[in-house]
Amino acid sequence: MKKLILALGLIFAGHQFNAQEKPAVDSTFLKNWMHSDFEATGVYGVNTLKAKEFLKQNNRKPVDIVVGVLDSGVEYFHEDLKNNIWTNPKEKESNQKDDDKNGFVDDIHGWNFVTDKNGNSYDDDSYELTRQYAKLEKLFREQGLHIKNQKLYNEYLRLKKDYYTSIYRFEQVKHLAQSRLDFYQPRLKALAEALGEQPLSKSVVDNFSSENNLALEGLFIFKEVPQKDWEGKTISNVISSYLKRYESQLDYAEKQLTKSYGLDFNPKAGVVGNHYGNNDVKGLSDDHGTHVAGIIAAEWDNGKGMHGTGGGNYVKIMGVRVVPDGDERDEDIANGIRYAVDNGAKILNMSFGKSYDDNHRLVVDAFKYAEKKNVLIVKAAGNSNEDIDVRIHYPMTLINDKQFSPTTITVGASTRHADKLKARFSNYGKKSVDVFAPGMEIYSSVPGVSKYAFFNGTSMASPAVAGVAALVWSHYPKLSAAEIKTILVSSVNKNDQLKDLSVYGGVVDAYKAVQKAEELYKKKKLK
């Protein structure tokens, strides 16, 4: 999982999936638009309120349903989530025993697979490109270029090109940030010494003079800062904030070069089997996962924050931490899927992805395991604005040009603008992407107990659908995972803008979905 990073005016999207940006406007409408009824408002929301009214009119009572959030971590004590967090009924808290004999000690609210061999959590990891290039580079370095596998050697050359292209970009960022710091620091320091600690004003700045050429050059640089950002402040405080952005860019570039693209960086070294990790489902970087969880299961009618598309407190979030700051590992994903399935999750949300493969068969097998256990998987399409029918993104959904899992839904991101429905960043695919859902300017919970924020991404669209799936399935529990998928994808609000970008050509609608579920229940004579 990675965020789109704006660095020195250059966006290095690459294989990043989890775009997160703040919208320009913050209003009541924006905070709730993903629930909109298209027929009433012209906005393609998921129509949650009308769905809830329909269920009430038909006297449908929900049963609890567990949604596994496979992500970066979930702040399980957030004010809008704490009452909707799954608690393992067979596990006694903090007794350091595996009470339920599932192989995971004290897994009260889920499990964290992003750990080293000693069970210690980590955050930073390398990209899959780095790991695959390092693997092949070692192979060809040790065995020479005459190895009798031209296909593999061609793959090595492709990865080498991609790897060093990325390295060059961040070397540029590092060099530019360092050059600016080297130039700015002495000049701004000289200006600060000349001005002292007096409060700044327009007259102070305009009337400044000095025989120190560095201080005068520093004044020229300082005038780049808007007056509103320095009026009444001391020069030292302003300069510190000004330089911090370049220091941050330098730190980021250094982190990319040494960790994300570090050929010898491997926090996972020595981890074996499928029962590693710890019970810290919050983890070290839980902003993304907490936001995702809120979209699915934030409480209704508590007077706080926002509402999840799941519709009520019968939706329980199981935290499964599988995503670091870097690319997820396939063994973590596969083990996370199996853990969630084996411990009662009926729906899994997977808001992550990558452009390079390690062991997709391992993940495919886990998908098939979920299918066998009647579990629905909802996954994000990715944020590279690519046709993923053509360029494979992992976890993959097509094998031999056909979708291999009848219990998996891949989701693209839509906007609140009916005339520009596809989000600019969203991946698409006539065969690979099933449906679209709100993924632009989505308001939800973030770490901080009572904090909320707007994020963008297919990472937000996927949980919108997972929540709708939970809303439907909790009220019609005798349906299968495959039937829930069929109901959701066949009841979309169609739009010509999406017909060539997805299998079903529309945006998920909870009201139409519960209507279809009601019809199916009556047809099958279920109660």
Per-residue pLDDT of the chain (527 residues; tens, 9 = 90+): 443 222 223 322 333 334 344 445 558 899 999 999 999 999 999 999 999 999 999 999 999 999 999 999 999 999 999 999 999 999 998 899 999 999 999 999 999 999 999 999 999 999 999 999 999 999 998 877 767 888 999 999 999 999 999 999 999 999 999 999 999 999 999 999 999 989 999 999 999 999 999 999 999 999 889 999 999 999 999 999 899 999 999 999 999 999 999 999 999 999 999 999 999 999 999 999 999 999 999 999 999 999 999 999 999 999 999 999 999 999 999 999 999 999 999 999 999 999 999 999 999 999 999 999 999 999 999 999 999 999 999 999 999 889 999 999 999 999 999 999 999 999 999 999 999 999 999 999 999 989 999 999 999 999 999 999 999 999 999 999 999 999 999 999 999 999 999 999 999 999 999 999 999 999 999 98
In this structure, are 227 and 352 located in the same domain? no
In this structure, are 99 and 28 located in the same domain? yes
In this structure, are 287 and 249 located in the same domain? no
What are the E-state strand segments in 263-365? Answer: 315-321, 347-350
- 8 A C-beta contact, residue 305 and residue 442: no
Q: Is residue 266 part of a domain?
A: no
In this structure, are 367 and 223 located in the same domain? no
pLDDT at 144: 75
Q: Which residues of 437-461 are buried (b: 16+ CB within 10 A; e: fewer)?
A: bbbbbbbbbbbeeeebbbbbbbbbb
pLDDT at 94: 83
Range of the domain at 484: 20-123+276-523
Q: Is residue 9 part of a domain?
A: no
Q: Can you tell me whether residue 71 is helix, strand or coil?
A: strand
The CATH number for 50's domain is: 3.40.50.200
| Cα–Cα distance for residue pair 443/343, rounded to 1 Å | 30
| Cα–Cα distance for residue pair 67/401, rounded to 1 Å | 29
Tell me the sheet residues that pair with 377. 348, 408
Which residues lie below 8 Å from residue 70, measured CB to CB, with a gap of 6+?
320, 322, 323, 333, 336, 337, 340, 348, 349, 350, 352
In this structure, are 190 and 250 located in the same domain? yes
Q: Can you tell me whether residue 334 is helix, strand or coil?
A: helix
Q: Can you tell me whether residue 70 is helix, strand or coil?
A: strand
Residue 318 main-chain phi, psi, to 5 deg: -100, 120
| Cα–Cα distance for residue pair 32/441, rounded to 1 Å | 10
In this structure, are 361 and 443 located in the same domain? yes
Task: Indicate the Cα dihedral angle 298, 303, 306, 308, nearest 10°.
Answer: 30
pLDDT at 141: 86
Q: Is residue 448 part of a domain?
A: yes
CA 277 from chain centre, in angstroms, equals: 21
The helix or strand, by DSSP H or E, that contains position 179, with its residue range, turns out to be helix 150-195
Q: Is residue 13 part of a domain?
A: no
Q: Which amino acid makes up residue 355?
A: S
Helix axes 48-57, 458-475, angle to 10 degrees: 0
In this structure, are 52 and 198 located in the same domain? no
In this structure, are 449 and 493 located in the same domain? yes
- 8 A C-beta contact, residue 177 and residue 212: no
Q: Given the DSSP bridges, would you call strands 435-438 and 398-399 parallel, antiparallel or unpaired? A: unpaired
Helices assigned H by DSSP within 230-356: 235-255, 287-297, 330-342
Q: Among 260, 292, 310, give the residue marking a domain's end.
A: 260
Which residues lie below 8 Å from residue 497, measured CB to CB, with a gap of 6+?
420, 421, 422
Q: What is the value of pTM for the model shown? A: 0.91
Q: Among 230, 260, 290, give the residue marking a domain's end.
A: 260
Q: Is residue 243 part of a domain?
A: yes
Q: Among 235, 260, 285, give the residue marking a domain's end.
A: 260
Q: Is residue 12 part of a domain?
A: no
pLDDT at 19: 38
In this structure, are 207 and 304 located in the same domain? no
| Cα–Cα distance for residue pair 230/480, rounded to 1 Å | 61
In this structure, are 112 and 133 located in the same domain? no
Q: Is residue 145 part of a domain?
A: yes
Q: CA nearest 269: which of 142, 143, 366, 126? A: 126
In this structure, are 247 and 386 located in the same domain? no
Tell me the sheet residues that pair with 354. 394
pLDDT at 318: 98
In this structure, are 401 and 517 located in the same domain? yes
Number of domains in the chain: 2
Q: Is residue 104 part of a domain?
A: yes
